[in-house]
Structure formats: C-alpha cells, structure tokens
C-alpha cells in the first residue's frame, strides 16, 4: 500500500458486495513496532484482512453529487467513501480527490480573475512579503 501511495482498500466478497475497508492506518496499528525483536514481531503478512478491516461502512450512492460527498467526509472526518450501486462497489472517493478538485477550481479562478502584479498591496495583506521598499542603490544593501 505504501509503495503505491494507497491509503484505502475496499474489501469485497466473491459477489462484489462491499464488506469492509482496509486502511493504511489500521494496517500499521495492527503490526508491531520495528523496535521489537524480529522473531517476536507481528508482520503484516501474518495478519488476516478480516481481522483489521473496518466494517459497517458509510457509503455513498453513485448518483450522489460531489458536494454531498465532500460535506459527508468533512462532517464525519473520514478520509474516503466507497461508492456503491445496489450494494456493489463501483469505486471510492477520497479526501485527496477533493484536494484535486480544489486545485482545479483555484486554477479556473485565476484564469477568470487573474492577480494583478501591479496592484499595490495593503499594509495588512499577508501576501505582501516585502513591506519595506529597498533601494538597490543604497550602500547598505550593496
């Protein structure tokens, strides 16, 4: 999971029905510390998925809209929502997906309302990183 930057894995039965969710957090919590002697350590390969997966999941129907999904993730402070239709897993939407949406929206906003570099910034503007006008001819800055 770490090698491929995957944080959530839906678990389905043979019929494709969602039965649980394995998260990197659950997996790491179930394994032992590397500080323990190797022969006494619990390794990920010794842990059955059904022992550490989350069950009783919140899901979202594939007909729901992005706003509903985002509000649910934020309200319940969870990192993902499996997307289902008739109990069958169709996909997963994650908080990272919404970061991508936010970036896209910010880029669109920049196109429609570009920042004017010549516009003077207010004294209290947090974007004004150099509030002091430096004179390059001044000897103390040479």
Read off the pLDDT of residues 48-94 as tens digits, 9 standing for 90 and up: 888 888 898 889 999 998 889 999 988 988 888 999 988 788 999 98
Question: What's the pTM value of the predicted model, to 2 decimals?
Answer: 0.59
Summarize pLDDT for 116-128 with one digit per residue, the tens: 655 555 555 554 4
Cα 87-88-93 angle, rounded to 5 deg: 100
- Would you say 23 and 7 are in contact if contact means Cβ atoms under 8 Å apart? yes
Domains of the chain: 8-35+42-112 (3.10.580.10)
Summarize pLDDT for 99-112 with one digit per residue, the tens: 888 888 888 888 77
Q: Which residues contact 18 (CB under 8 A, 6 or more apart)?
A: 10, 11, 12, 57, 59, 82, 84, 87, 88, 89
Summarize pLDDT for 16-60 with one digit per residue, the tens: 888 999 888 887 777 766 566 667 677 667 778 888 888 988 899
Q: Which residues contact 62 (CB under 8 A, 6 or more apart)?
A: 83, 84, 85, 90, 91
């Amino acid at each position: 999971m770490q090698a491929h930057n995957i944080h959530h894995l839906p678990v389905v039965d043979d019929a494709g029905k969602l039965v649980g969710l394995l998260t990197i957090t659950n997996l790491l919590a179930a394994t032992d510390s590397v500080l323990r002697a190797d022969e006494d350590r619990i390794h990920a390969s010794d842990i059955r998925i059904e022992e550490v997966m989350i069950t009783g999941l919140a899901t979202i129907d594939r007909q729901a809209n992005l706003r509903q999904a985002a509000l649910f993730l934020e309200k319940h402070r969870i990192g993902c929502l499996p997307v289902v239709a008739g109990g069958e897993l169709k996909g997963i939407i994650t908080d990272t997906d919404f970061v991508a949406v936010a970036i896209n929206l910010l880029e669109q906003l920049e196109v429609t309302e570009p920042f004017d570099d010549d516009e003077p910034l207010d004294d209290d503007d947090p974007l004004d990183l150099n509030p002091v006008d430096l004179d390059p001819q001044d000897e103390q800055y040479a």
